[in-house]
Structure 1
């Protein structure tokens, strides 16, 4: 049986408070299901705005928040509204990053340009590097915090340094995908699972900052069709108009679940992190025990390890082809992983530990056998 460590969804139960709220929204209905305004239920938008204010984003109000039918829909809506065909339509994406961005940008009429970062530097984006990479056609800088697949988390100080650069480009938007904001592992015993710092807590004098997030990762509401955008007022209004024209409101039970989960977000996120902690330690230890495994630091966020297997690549193939072949061979050995080549890092594999412990242990056993066999083959060659 194939064991998947490739899924982006966790092995999480729906939070009881969210499930109860959804059920209550359906009980006692005498007529049709209520339909909110297209931008989302006012009480949900207000609750989300209040939570961002609690996290330091003093300027966020309900009218800045748009509820979308999923996070991909949120991303595509922003791309479609801000990219200008024939003009400034470039999206600058530091990599490694999520493999799905490229197709969304392309379908919105934009051009994606990658800015490779180095694992040896902990995937640090230096302000000088960013400044050199920006050009007149760059409309949007796209970051994820924490990063999928690397787990890299931007601190408030790092945000401030990068925004010191982007503030010199008033026509540039900065979009932070923060869907894994609550899956964070910190060394601070006083706040071991504190959410990642949000872009919205930083000063935004030019109205450049946009956050996209959702409920499927940090709040365990996968499959409920919920995403959100927090944007400056003019862009938020355009996004609301777009949603009214193309989609309509997210169903009321999903919004009721989201409202309940938002009210307990820190508790839900911390519970998920505690649930994930043993598997995180198991995968870290298992990878570090593999033959020839390069040393690596434990990622600060998400429920993935982005591990370097480039030593196993076939030297006769181009890097992308060799990475794809390696991933396929591992699948044939019984373990499904995400090919790092699709994320801008050939030879790496994204491995999820948000799975059942028994599956993770068996996957590690198979992975160990696979790596040992590859090492023997390389030595024989």
Structure 2
């Protein structure tokens, strides 16, 4: 009996170099180990362990009961836009009109909309590394060319004006800055930003994408500056990316927002009209409550994150072979494991890369961390301390014990 031949699935060329995030793959392996009965501590997720504030949930409930369950205006409700505008006025000293802001299904969509609306094949985007993995993937998918610039720990994982100047070509369309940063927690101070903006002043065709999603999670009195507030000329070609996910513990609500020149926002709105349409109506009502309601929770949670940061940095620096700078913000550390490479495990395997190290730690100590290679710079690993202190205590103890098991070459 003959069978009809099966048609082979063919992926689009734009996905040739793309795959599921390495962070998700590590999470899947951690889940598999947990199903086998191991108690795995996952320090890989960029998600606060705090609950969404009660008044935000109540606002969503009221919106649903009031019938706010239909389509909304494409770029956000009038209330959502007003809340975004007021947030920028109150916190950043920036004034925007309604046609200069957009609400989206997460901050990631702001970036995707912008690249889809502006990049032609071959256009380049300068991305300081280490970088959040999705940055380069989105540039690729939208037809652009990611130009990654390796930033050293000695400069706080920040791009220098000289590095930026050297990376710029006639095809450069955007510079991406993420401050505070995922994965390093590094942040740019006022003088450092001004030096970067001075370079951009000499290149009037290059736009700036400023990802400020972690602006409220900063420590030791550091103030997160928005580049748009430092230079009027650069503001005319700056897109600010933000959202409620990190500061207000609303990752699952999927609300981000962007602010920039009206022409750019209009083009991004066209992209959104042919992809997701408006963000969730109920989630928008929740986000309005987050942005306009009590803000004291931000300081409370920031203090908790700082306590965790100090503990994790101190613990990592006490482990022979590891070293970790103190980040200015976010809820990540980016530690070096360079001194450990070349060591052998009790099983005789040699750890040659940061991926080897992270894989061995997961399999042996059942602690999930993410190798720096996933973020474009090795040999490092990222620890997310957005988890309970008890989990961090146990994870650092396991990590120290695992490293103590290694044998060093003589």
Q: Same fold (TM over 0.5)?
A: yes
CA, structure 1 residues 321+239, in 2 after alignment: closer, same or farther (shift >3 Å)?
farther
Cα deviation digits, residues 150-202 of structure 1 (max 9, x gap): 1111122222221111021111111011111111112x3xxx7x5x2112212
Whether 1:108 and 2:108 are equivalent positions in the alignment is: no
8 A contact 1:280–1:353 mirrored in 2: yes
Bigger CA drift: 197-206 or 209-218? 197-206
Superposed displacement of residue 321, structure 1 = 7.1
Look up the match of 2:228: 200
Cα deviation digits, residues 81-107 of structure 1 (max 9, x gap): 111114xx1111111111221211111
Superposed displacement of residue 35, structure 1 = 2.5
Please, which of 300, 312, 318 is the counterpart of residue 271 of structure 1? 300
Moved over 4 A (4+): none
d(CA) in 2 for partners of 1:349, 1:63: 41
8 A contact 2:325–2:335 mirrored in 1: no
8 A contact 1:81–1:239 mirrored in 2: yes
CA, structure 1 residues 332+315, in 2 after alignment: closer, same or farther (shift >3 Å)?
closer
8 A contact 1:261–1:268 mirrored in 2: no
Look up the match of 2:11: none
Please, which of 390, 399, 404 is the counterpart of residue 367 of structure 1? 399
Look up the match of 2:327: 299
Whether 1:38 and 2:38 are equivalent positions in the alignment is: no
Cα deviation digits, residues 309-368 of structure 1 (max 9, x gap): 11122489xxx9722221111111211011101112212110011112221111111100
d(CA) in 2 for partners of 1:103, 1:233: 26
8 A contact 1:57–1:202 mirrored in 2: no
Whether 1:96 and 2:134 are equivalent positions in the alignment is: no
8 A contact 1:50–1:61 mirrored in 2: no
Look up the match of 1:55: 91
Please, which of 357, 361, 365 is the counterpart of residue 326 of structure 1? 357
- What is the SS of the residue equivalent to 1:112? strand
d(CA) in 2 for partners of 1:164, 1:27: 51
Unmatched segments (≥5 aa) in structure 2 = 1-38, 345-350
RMSD: 2.0
8 A contact 1:9–1:222 mirrored in 2: yes
Look up the match of 1:257: 286
Look up the match of 2:108: 72
Look up the match of 1:219: 248
Cα deviation digits, residues 212-270 of structure 1 (max 9, x gap): 12211112111001111112110101111221222111121100110111114742321
8 A contact 1:48–1:62 mirrored in 2: no
Look up the match of 1:16: 54
d(CA) in 2 for partners of 1:253, 1:330: 41
Alignment of 1:97-136 (within 5 A): 97-136=131-170
- What is the SS of the residue equivalent to 1:22? helix
d(CA) in 2 for partners of 1:10, 1:300: 17
Whether 1:25 and 2:85 are equivalent positions in the alignment is: no
Look up the match of 1:210: 239
Q: How many residues are aligned here? A: 364
Unmatched segments (≥5 aa) in structure 1 = none
Look up the match of 1:243: 272
d(CA) in 2 for partners of 1:133, 1:60: 31
Whether 1:4 and 2:42 are equivalent positions in the alignment is: yes
8 A contact 1:91–1:141 mirrored in 2: yes
8 A contact 2:341–2:352 mirrored in 1: no
Please, which of 320, 327, 346 is the counterpart of residue 378 of structure 2? 346
d(CA) in 2 for partners of 1:355, 1:314: 31
Bigger CA drift: 306-315 or 9-18? 306-315
TM-score (norm 1): 0.90
CA, structure 1 residues 10+97, in 2 after alignment: closer, same or farther (shift >3 Å)?
same
CA, structure 1 residues 315+103, in 2 after alignment: closer, same or farther (shift >3 Å)?
farther
Superposed displacement of residue 22, structure 1 = 0.6
